[in-house]
Chain A
Amino acid sequence: NAGVTQTPKFQVLKTGQSMTLQCAQDMNHNSMYWYRQDPGMGLRLIYYSASEGTTDKGEVPNGYNVSRLNKREFSLRLESAAPSQTSVYFCASSVGSRWQYFGPGTRLTVT
């Protein structure tokens, strides 16, 4: 039982490049989320998927797209990376209202 896994762990991009961050959970959770954490700050919600087949914007969705590939997987895509997207990205999943678990994070630097 690996919980929430994310790949890659680290990534460096040049401005304008694209990439996809992958997330998978093996806990049979219905809901999945993408957050970003900037230095010295709490996490902010980018997108979420309340259930398989649905996705919705969070607080800071600009510059990102998501795909809920199936119940297990939820990917985050940066189409044209910008230095302002340098951050640590966390994927999370939840079941019900009380339990929310996070992946280990992806540290992304855009130069």
Chain B
Amino acid sequence: AQKITQTQPGMFVQEKEAVTLDCTYDTSDPSYGLFWYKQPSSGEMIFLIYQGSYDQQNATEGRYSLNFQKARKSANLVISASQLGDSAMYFCAMREGGAGGYNKLIFGAGTRLAVHP
């Protein structure tokens, strides 16, 4: 069964505007972690932000914030003030369980974001 769903294959946004990339997940484990990665056309995977299931506040890292709605099992990525360099593929990923010090990640299919000038 698919555990991570990213329903938007492609999105576009005007430069300087905010954009939300959707991610829903499915797990019965009360302890889990959610990650967002950026993959530019060069191919590397760049870690953006992390949210633990027990974290009380939504995670933020600079222009990135994670809108974590636990009851709805959603973990949407919000990028504020989009820049041309934000054009890339974005992946949501989940770790089930409390990790025990390691992360076996399950990835969604990704959303391709295009930022227009």
Contact = CB atoms under 8 A, between A and B. Distances in A.
Q: Do A and B come from one complex?
A: yes
A100 B105 contact: yes
A95 B102 CA distance: 7
A98 B53 CA distance: 11
Given A31-B103, A42-B108, A97 B98 contact: yes
B89 to A, nearest CB: 9
B43 to A, nearest CB: 5
A33 B35 CA distance: 16
A50 B103 CA distance: 8
Contacts of B104: 33, 45, 48, 58
A2 B45 CA distance: 15
A90 B91 CA distance: 14
B107 A42 contact: yes
B30 interface: no
A98 B35 CA distance: 8
Contacts of B43: 88, 104-105, 107
A contact face: mostly helix, strand, loop, or mixed: strand
B100 interface: yes
Given A50-B100, A101-B47, A41 B105 contact: no
Contacts of A94: 102-103
Interface of B: 4, 33, 35, 37, 43-45, 47, 50, 52, 91, 93, 95, 98-110
Interface of A: 30-31, 33, 35, 40-45, 48, 50-51, 58-59, 88, 90, 92, 94-102, 104-105, 107
28 contacts: A31-B102, A33-B103, A42-B91, A42-B109, A42-B110, A43-B105, A43-B107, A44-B107, A45-B104, A45-B106, A48-B102, A48-B104, A50-B101, A50-B102, A51-B101, A51-B102, A88-B43, A94-B102, A95-B101, A97-B52, A97-B99, A99-B47, A99-B50, A100-B105, A101-B47, A102-B44, A104-B43, A104-B44
